[in-house]
Structure 1
């Protein structure tokens, strides 16, 4: 994907605020501090478009980023952060479920998991939620550069077994530091949105 344009569009909390131009959407879900913003920035080769934060739980809306006037990345609030109130967590859950259940433009969900650790209960719940609503899903294992290559297979096996992953779902090992997995993930995304193009180096 040769990136010619990328921009933040809106932080939405309800369907009436979603973009109406019918572009395909790729959504990202994962725990707070799992590296979703860094993943977006590496995919589009921008340093700071998706703002990374040292404060977990800061994202509290669906953040829309438009790329090449061709696709949106939709960044969900991170889950599993203790300082977010129970009421706020419930509102997040309702907002995300409404989006997953009803958004026809959603073509692929990226479930972002820190490869160093087994998926959390929240990760498992999210994955099963996606399966329940028949949402096409790709499991993205971030921070792969933090693990020796000799242990990658072991960590991937733990992630698949903990999630009870559908073998038909793609799994991509990714590093925002080294760019590992960027081309493969763009191939998965392009396949989901029906776009065929060269990957930008």
Structure 2
């Protein structure tokens, strides 16, 4: 959780992480939570130390943090480009590296990155976001080769436009006709793909970006 999320259209209430933690604890899940600024270069190490101390050595890393603002060639500044890079590229890379360094098993490690289909077509008005998320696809391929000998798979998923609470009715009306299934993606769609990729059944899949966006037509 980060202050950035609180300012975005989807918003985040200050007590949401604790509420989720309580729900998971009631289900018998060992869980912890913390607020962290991933633009800080020390954040990945801080996070992994916290995880190890609170719940033990992790087997799975889901890189779902993202930074996005609307910009194009006419208004993109180097400051805004750097902000996108720090979260979408640098933090994702450093988290993955730190996870791999502390992974202490011979096999079963899983890293799953979230991308946005930026390689399937242009994303006008999101120049910095599309560029930095594209770097995640490239990182996924190379890092998968490096970490395979260490028992870790590295994959990415592109869930397509997903209504996590940020979509207005106008946006939904615009996007819905582009989905041949007649509905917009929901978080559970992405969760089901992630569940598969972190399972034993997916131990032969690595270096892949899975485009699971319900046939979304650009």
Class of the TM-score when normalised by the shorter of the 2 chains = 0.3 to 0.5
Structure with bigger helix share is 2
Superposition TM-score, scaled by structure 1 size: 0.41
The structure, 1 or 2, with the larger RCO (C-alpha pairs under 8 Å, 6+ apart) is 1
Which is strand-richer, 1 or 2? 1
| TM-score, structure 2 as length reference | 0.39
